[in-house]
A = this chain, B = another copy of it.
Amino acid sequence: MKSGDLPSGIDRRALVSALTLLPAFPQLFLPATVRAQTVAGAPLASWNEGSAKQAILNFVRVATDRTNPQFVPPEQRIATFDQDGTLWVEHPIYSQVVYCLDRVPAVVGRKPELKTVEPFKTVLSGDREAMARLSRHDLETILAATLTGMPVEEFEAEVKTWLETAKHPRWKRPYTDLVYQPMLDVLQYLRDNAFRTYIVTGGGQDFVRVYSQRVYGIPLEQVVGTIGGTKFGYDKDGKPFLTKEPKLLLNNDSAGKPEGIHLMIGRRPRAAFGNSVGDREMLEYTGAGDGARLMMLVLHDDAQREYAYGPARGLPESKIGTFTPALDDEAKRNGWTVISMKNDWKRIFPFDS
């Protein structure tokens, strides 16, 4: 490259020295088109050819083409992803709920009077059938006891420790291994084209922030989740700290998702990915704007490689991650693309051969 190729005002030596910094913070510094072209092979390598893969490629082509009337200016390139069932496995039970149940002995250890009190007693018994019968209110009691009341740094450390040791009952691997490789491909492909990728989850914002960078390459600032309040105070040495409070500021599910997006991002997404009725409003909100748009829903129709649940399209009913016939109808009506795990995904997990 000759120096004459550089736009005026950019110092050559400074540019070279800046580029040597790239490995430390690649996402911020490296122009999108460079990354796209240096990634080995074609994008979306874990996807089979088909209408789902094509929908993603078409969207990005249109959104990044300055000559297209549907071109999306870089500052508006926001893509939002539900987590449970969209980016990683949500069956047989949400990972965060497993975390809360696993934390009960520690909570009771600190407050022994809870040992004989429900629902803690049932959780301590280890009786899985009894635990499955716990009411929503019981579950909320457990969530409040295990997710709040401690300094935020203490909570983060506890989650980190748990993630290193807890294993999924089916695959006997850490929960953070059970992410879908095709969705990691989509995240990377969108980022390569200057999209900022956000998680928009019903899970706890502070919980998901602990691992979002490591697992998804999404910085913690770009996690929108269910938000609990914190309370500022001082420890005995006068040092300020924040305590997690049992106060719900935003339930980031269903109608709460567009509300959370407005609160945390302040822009309407251009692309949104979900897998259940809890993602319906996010996809509707995303689709209601002008210009290039992409709305996609993951259908879990692969009992062999993952799970099969609906109840759309004759799949078994599910308490977790419900994909109803009504959602399927709305997808058809609105031009949302349904992703068949079985047919559209070449492999499911990064550890699959």
Q: A74-B28, A230-B259, A259-B229 are in contact. Are A285 and B1 (CB under 8 A)?
A: no
A17 within 8 Å of B (CB atoms): yes
How many chain A residues touch B (CB < 8 A): the figure is 67
Expressed in whole angstroms, the Cα–Cα distance for A203 and B299 within the complex equals: 43
B7 touches A19 (CB 8 A): yes
Proximity string of chain A (307-349) to chain B, C-beta cutoff 8 Å, 1 when within and 0 when not: 0000000000000000000000000000000000000000000
Does A42 sit at the interface, judged by CB under 8 A? no
Minimum CB distance partner of A156 in chain B: B266
Given contacts A1-B3, A152-B262, A284-B240, contact A194 B25 (CB under 8 A): yes
- Whether A262 touches B38, Cβ cut-off 8 Å, given contacts A31-B15, A31-B21, is no
User: Which chain B residue has the least Cβ–Cβ distance from A244?
Assistant: B262
A285 contacts which chain B residues (CB < 8 A)?
232, 240, 242
Contact between chains at A38 and B10 (CB < 8 Å)? yes
Pair B75/A219 contact, Cβ less than 8 Å: yes
Let me know if A239 is at the binding interface, CB within 8 A. yes
Q: How many copies does the complex hold?
A: 2
Per-residue interface assignment for chain A, residues 243 to 287, with 1 indicating a CB less than 8 Å from any chain B CB and 0 otherwise: 000000110000110110011111100000000000001001100
Set of chain B residues within 8 Å of A17, measured between Cβ atoms: 33
Q: Are the CB atoms of B1 and A15 closer together than 8 Å?
A: yes
Give the residues in chain B near A266, CB-CB below 8 Å.
Answer: 205-206, 209, 220-221, 223
Least CB separation from A256: chain B residue: B232
Task: Map CB proximity to B onto A25-55 as digits: 1 under 8 Å, 0 otherwise.
Answer: 1001101111001100000000000000000
- The answer to the question of A166 belonging to the interface, with a C-beta cut-off of 8 Å to chain B, is no
CA distance A327 to B187 in the complex (A): 46
- Decide: A19 and B24 in contact? CB cutoff 8 A: no
Chain B residues with CB below 8 A from A255, complex form: 231-232
Asked if A14 is at the interface (CB within 8 A of a chain B CB), the reply is yes
Residues of B with C-beta under 8 A to A241:
288
